[in-house]
């Protein structure tokens, strides 16, 4: 054992740079793998814990159209065993909130008449401010999704448009509103005192709408409850119904994307680490062939020599894995706190759980590394002491070298026509095949990471250029109706048509379509009967083509009996182009032909589009305008807001998209930047180490080159340009992977969210610069490693 320990420590001291590099690779592999698993697991655990703590709903009913009796529905659900139903939560919808004199864009408000707590489900968690039974008169509670995104604090004042009245209320608390306060939300529940609600909102046209939450003791039985409920009603439920999957999905989407990228790159990193370990062990065996032969001649068995390598890499792995696990939890906390900041309170930080998972990941990494070490170290078994001492290698390898040397002499004339520097560079690459493959792989992976990060962040930040492929319109300016009772729509349309800068105007509103259970083909319950589903409908008055709404197959509806459906509706119902769908809309049955199928990140593609002819009377929410010159957008927005400020809010499309997806870009920038820097650093270190090892082996030829007149810098430049050429090939492959392979893998993740064709926006200037950066890092690593050539003495090398 003393001999094994002595040899192990000697190997650690002798190869400091290589050992340090391998330890760094193992650390980074552990960091990436453990971070990805921790981020995904903790995101779901955090949501589930809060969902359990707040008695979160599994489904929410939104009763807006008066097609059912709200109290009758509430009483039925309250009477069911195994179900917890909330009280009816009355509200009035508003559009338009002003903070510090500026209107917050793209924000729909549900002004809630706060009942006595507890509500029954979806209890509020106070993130900031003093917890009270009810909001005080003149005060409101607002959700973290509205407050954190717009930097609103307790004590600030907000202005709301309530008909002709400008309502000013002070924020007394910021609350976590779990079902409707998630990331990318454009809705917010504003909780008012009953007195303020009646005084300011009771006189508005129309009647109250209601939310009601439903929580099942056994969620797997929810379909059976719904069958009994619709049998009780005698008709399908005609109002909006939000499922648990819809309520929870967008809490996880960003962390799933980050986790996917990190886990994929972590696997790549550990493969690079294993390749490097194998390369290092093989190189160590070859360079110490004679020494190993001497050890064997002195009685040291092959098994003990293998144990020497296992012990060496066990120590390296433990030194690297332990900090990797610790740092991964710190990085996980940063990512989770940024992406799930809406679930954080002022008193507590977001906890990071699952320490057992981290330990398991570390143990798994150690096991894989030791298995790799055992496989490569087993190459010492065939070593024969006499051959090792005499030849420094096996006799067969020695004979092979002599034969190759004779062949190389015959082939040397082929290089006589090439410049000397080119021959030196090619020789450096071709004589070090494993090292060259490793450097090629590193440059490919590094470029792919950098390019994919740029493409992903850029595609989200530049979403206005691919908006129709995300399920949005491509209109230049959108008019949001915030006070329909005071809007003179005819006068507004006359003014718009009289403006030569405006090409067209189309209106859109929303409705609910219900697929009756007896028409379902692919959604059956556990009892064997089909369950009806509720589909949000975009109802368009005008041309969907002019609005810029796009389909991945087929076309937009043009006639009253046509419909375009989201990809997940198509999957769930088993409907394709030309198929017939029957829907209840406003209590009436309609039959539609599917003319288009589209993808949309909103509602996870569980939605559809129809023309305004299918509803009794369209109450439009938005108007969509296209301009002759998009540069006129600011002037037109300002003009419309000045003229119709009491009834509409005009905004640019870019403003609307930024209000939703700017936070996605911000969340992605930090982890993608960290990954890019990590891979650049690893690429530089490995290329530096690999080149340094190979250059030291080739000191005699380089000395000979110097003796015949080549300068050190000429030789260094030739070697470096060889690596640059190799990395150029790797960068080209990396670009292909970054814009094709990695996005293709990401599509598999986003498919469940309704995106089957990932809309990418290519910034070729940025892609080229990042590829150039990867090549520069490789060349720089080789140039610095080649400094040893400066210290060579031709006289000594030739004499040897």
Give the tens place of pLDDT for each residue, 351-382. Answer: 776 677 788 888 888 899 989 888 888 877 76
- Look at residue 604 in the predicted model and tell me its pLDDT: 87
Give the tens place of pLDDT for each residue, 119-161. Answer: 999 999 999 999 999 999 999 999 998 998 888 999 999 998 8
Q: Work out the percent of the chain whose per-residue pLDDT is above 90.
A: 31
- Most confident among 248-257, 465-474, 561-570 (mean pLDDT): 561-570
- Look at residue 522 in the predicted model and tell me its pLDDT: 46
Q: Please, which residues have CB within 8 angstroms of residue 634's CB and are 6 or more apart in sequence?
A: 652
43-47, 180-184, 410-414, 418-422, range with the lowest pLDDT: 410-414
Question: Minimal CA–CA distance to 697: which of 437, 435, 443, 440?
Answer: 435
Q: Which residue would you say has higher pLDDT here, 184 or 722?
A: 722
Of 363, 398, 433, the position where a domain reaches its end is: 398
393-402, 417-426, 699-708, 743-752, range with the lowest pLDDT: 393-402
**pLDDT band, very low/low/confident/very high, at 539 (cuts 50, 70, 90):** very high
Give the tens place of pLDDT for each residue, 321-333. Answer: 988 888 888 888 8
- Look at residue 387 in the predicted model and tell me its pLDDT: 58
**Residues 534 and 462 both lie in one domain:** no
**Residues 654 and 666 both lie in one domain:** no
**Residues 733 and 782 both lie in one domain:** yes
**pLDDT band, very low/low/confident/very high, at 106 (cuts 50, 70, 90):** confident
- Look at residue 172 in the predicted model and tell me its pLDDT: 94
Residue 682 in this model has a pLDDT that exceeds 60 = yes
- Look at residue 770 in the predicted model and tell me its pLDDT: 92
What would the mean pLDDT of 555-574 be, rounded to a whole number?
A: 93
Give the tens place of pLDDT for each residue, 194-241. Answer: 999 988 887 777 788 999 999 999 988 888 899 899 889 888 888 889
Please tell me the distance from the alpha carbon of residue 800 to that of residue 797, in angstroms, as a whole number. Answer: 5
What would the mean pLDDT of 711-723 be, rounded to a whole number?
A: 85
Burial, 531: exposed, middle or buried (Cβ in 10 Å; 0-12, 13-18, 19+)?
Answer: buried
**Residues 244 and 269 both lie in one domain:** no
Give the tens place of pLDDT for each residue, 751-772. Answer: 888 888 888 888 899 999 999 9
Cβ atoms 176, 207 nearer than 8 A: no
**pLDDT band, very low/low/confident/very high, at 25 (cuts 50, 70, 90):** confident
State the angle between helix axes of 16-53 and 2-14 in degrees (0 to 180), rounded to the nearest 10.
Answer: 90
3-state secondary structure of 588: strand
Residue 28 in this model has a pLDDT that exceeds 80 = yes
CA 243-244-246 angle, to 5 degrees, is 65
**pLDDT band, very low/low/confident/very high, at 527 (cuts 50, 70, 90):** very low
Residue 12 in this model has a pLDDT that exceeds 80 = no
Q: Which residue would you say has higher pLDDT here, 386 or 167?
A: 167
The values of phi and psi at residue 527, to 5°, are -90, 0
Of 353, 368, 398, the position where a domain reaches its end is: 398
What would the mean pLDDT of 315-325 be, rounded to a whole number?
A: 88
- Look at residue 395 in the predicted model and tell me its pLDDT: 47
- Look at residue 476 in the predicted model and tell me its pLDDT: 92
**Residues 473 and 439 both lie in one domain:** no
**Residues 170 and 182 both lie in one domain:** yes
**Residues 686 and 789 both lie in one domain:** yes
Average pLDDT of every residue of the chain: 83
**Residues 21 and 154 both lie in one domain:** no
**pLDDT band, very low/low/confident/very high, at 508 (cuts 50, 70, 90):** very high
Give me the number of domains the chain comprises: 4
Question: Minimal CA–CA distance to 710: which of 794, 797, 799, 795?
Answer: 794
**Residues 383 and 423 both lie in one domain:** no
Please tell me the distance from the alpha carbon of residue 93 to that of residue 64, in angstroms, as a whole number. Answer: 10
Beta strands 89-99 and 209-216 are: antiparallel
Residue 393 in this model has a pLDDT that exceeds 60 = no
CA 664-667-668 angle, to 5 degrees, is 85
**Residues 738 and 611 both lie in one domain:** no
State the angle between helix axes of 244-287 and 653-697 in degrees (0 to 180), rounded to the nearest 10.
Answer: 10
Q: Please, which residues have CB within 8 angstroms of residue 520's CB and are 6 or more apart in sequence?
A: 530, 531, 532, 533, 573
Cβ atoms 559, 544 nearer than 8 A: no
**pLDDT band, very low/low/confident/very high, at 60 (cuts 50, 70, 90):** very high
Please tell me the distance from the alpha carbon of residue 441 to that of residue 730, in angstroms, as a whole number. Answer: 7
**Partners of 511 in beta bridges:** 537
- Look at residue 526 in the predicted model and tell me its pLDDT: 45
What would the mean pLDDT of 580-588 be, rounded to a whole number?
A: 90
Structure tokens at 40: 């995904």
User: What range does the domain containing 427 cover?
Assistant: 405-467+662-800
Please tell me the distance from the alpha carbon of residue 660 to that of residue 613, in angstroms, as a whole number. Answer: 31
Please tell me the distance from the alpha carbon of residue 530 to that of residue 526, in angstroms, as a whole number. Answer: 9
Give the tens place of pLDDT for each residue, 620-671. Answer: 888 999 999 989 999 999 999 888 877 888 899 888 888 777 777 777 787 7
Q: Which residue would you say has higher pLDDT here, 703 or 528?
A: 703
- Look at residue 523 in the predicted model and tell me its pLDDT: 44
- Look at residue 792 in the predicted model and tell me its pLDDT: 66
Burial, 291: exposed, middle or buried (Cβ in 10 Å; 0-12, 13-18, 19+)?
Answer: middle
Q: Which residue would you say has higher pLDDT here, 637 or 675?
A: 637
Q: Work out the percent of the chain whose per-residue pLDDT is above 70.
A: 88
Residue 541 in this model has a pLDDT that exceeds 90 = yes
**Residues 63 and 172 both lie in one domain:** yes
**Residues 420 and 454 both lie in one domain:** yes
The values of phi and psi at residue 135, to 5°, are -65, 140
- Look at residue 156 in the predicted model and tell me its pLDDT: 93
Of 249, 265, 294, the position where a domain reaches its end is: 249
């Amino acid at each position: 054992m003393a001999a094994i320990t002595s040899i192990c420590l000697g190997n650690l001291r002798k190869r400091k740079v290589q050992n340090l590099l391998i330890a760094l690779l193992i650390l980074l592999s552990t960091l990436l793998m453990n971070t990805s698993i921790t981020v995904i697991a903790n995101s779901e655990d955090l949501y589930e814990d809060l969902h359990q703590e707040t008695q979160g709903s599994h489904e929410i009913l939104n009763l807006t159209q008066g097609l059912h009796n709200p109290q009758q529905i509430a009483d039925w659900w309250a009477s069911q065993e195994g179900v917890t139903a909330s009280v009816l939560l009355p509200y009035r919808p508003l559009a338009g909130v002003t903070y510090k004199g500026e209107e917050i864009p793209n924000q729909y408000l549900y002004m809630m008449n706060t009942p006595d707590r507890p509500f029954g489900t979806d209890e509020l968690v106070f993130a900031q401010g003093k917890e009270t039974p009810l909001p005080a008169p003149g005060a409101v509670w607002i959700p973290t999704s509205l407050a954190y995104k717009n930097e609103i604090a307790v004590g600030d004042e907000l202005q709301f448009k309530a008909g002709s009245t400008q309502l000013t209320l002070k924020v007394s608390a910021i609350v976590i509103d779990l079902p409707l306060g998630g990331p990318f939300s454009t809705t917010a529940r504003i909780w008012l005192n009953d007195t303020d609600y009646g005084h300011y909102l009771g006189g508005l046209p129309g009647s109250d709408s209601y939310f009601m939450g439903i929580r099942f003791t056994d969620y797997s039985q929810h379909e059976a409850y719904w069958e009994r409920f619709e049998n009780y009603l005698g008709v399908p439920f005609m109002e909006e119904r939000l499922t648990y999957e819809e309520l929870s999905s967008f809490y996880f989407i960003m962390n799933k994307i980050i986790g996917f990228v990190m886990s994929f790159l972590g696997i790549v990193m550990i493969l690079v680490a294993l390749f490097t370990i194998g390369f290092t062990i093989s190189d160590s065996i070859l360079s110490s062939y004679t020494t190993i032969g001497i050890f064997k001649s002195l009685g040291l068995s092959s098994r003990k020599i293998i144990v020497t390598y296992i012990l060496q890499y066990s120590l390296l792995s433990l030194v690297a894995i332990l900090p990797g696990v610790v740092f991964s939890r710190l990085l996980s906390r940063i990512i989770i706190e940024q992406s799930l900041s809406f679930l954080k309170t002022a008193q507590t930080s977001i906890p990071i759980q699952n320490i057992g998972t981290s330990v398991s990941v570390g143990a798994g990494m150690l096991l894989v590394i030791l298995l790799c070490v055992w496989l490569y170290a087993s190459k010492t078994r065939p070593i024969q002491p006499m051959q090792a001492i005499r030849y420094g290698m096996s006799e067969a390898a020695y004979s092979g070298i002599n034969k190759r040397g004779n062949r190389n002499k015959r082939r040397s004339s082929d290089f006589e026509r090439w410049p000397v520097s080119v021959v030196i560079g090619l020789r450096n690459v071709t004589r070090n095949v494993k090292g060259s493959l490793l450097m090629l792989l590193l440059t490919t992976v590094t470029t792919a990471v950098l390019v994919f990060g740029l493409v992903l962040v850029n595609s989200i930040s530049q979403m206005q250029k691919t908006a129709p492929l995300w399920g949005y319109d491509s209109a230049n300016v959108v008019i949001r109706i915030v006070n329909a009772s005071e809007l003179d729509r005819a006068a507004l349309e006359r003014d718009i048509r009289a403006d030569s800068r405006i090409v067209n105007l189309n209106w859109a509103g929303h409705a609910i379509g219900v697929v009756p259970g007896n028409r379902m083909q692919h959604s059956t319950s556990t009892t064997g009967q089909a369950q009806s589903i509720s589909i949000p409908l975009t109802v368009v008055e005008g041309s969907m083509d002019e609005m810029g709404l796009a389909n991945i197959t087929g076309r937009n509806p043009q006639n009253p009996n046509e419909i375009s459906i989201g990809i997940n509706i198509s999957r769930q119902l088993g409907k394709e182009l030309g198929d017939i769908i029957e829907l209840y809309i406003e209590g009436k049955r309609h039959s539609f032909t599917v003319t288009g199928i589209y993808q949309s990140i909103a509602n996870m593609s569980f939605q559809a589009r129809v023309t305004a002819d299918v509803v009794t009377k369209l109450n439009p929410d938005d108007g969509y305008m296209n301009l002759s010159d998009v540069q006129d957008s600011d002037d037109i927005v300002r003009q419309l807001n000045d003229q119709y400020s009491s009834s509409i809010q005009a905004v640019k499309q870019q403003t609307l998209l930024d209000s939703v997806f700017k936070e996605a870009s911000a969340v992605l920038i930090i982890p993608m930047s960290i990954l890019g820097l990590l891979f650049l650093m690893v690429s530089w270190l490995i290329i530096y180490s690999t080149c340094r090892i190979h250059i030291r082996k080739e000191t005699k030829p380089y000395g000979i080159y110097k003796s015949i007149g080549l300068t050190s810098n000429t030789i260094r430049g030739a070697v470096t340009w060889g690596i640059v050429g190799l990395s150029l090939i790797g960068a080209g492959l990396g670009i292909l992977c970054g814009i094709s392979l990695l996005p293709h893998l990401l599509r598999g993740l986003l498919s469940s969210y309704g995106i089957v064709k990932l809309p990418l926006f290519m910034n070729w200037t940025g892609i080229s610069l990042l590829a150039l950066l990867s090549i520069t890092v490789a060349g720089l690593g080789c140039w610095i490693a080649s400094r040893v050539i400066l210290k060579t003495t031709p006289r000594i090398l030739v004499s040897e």
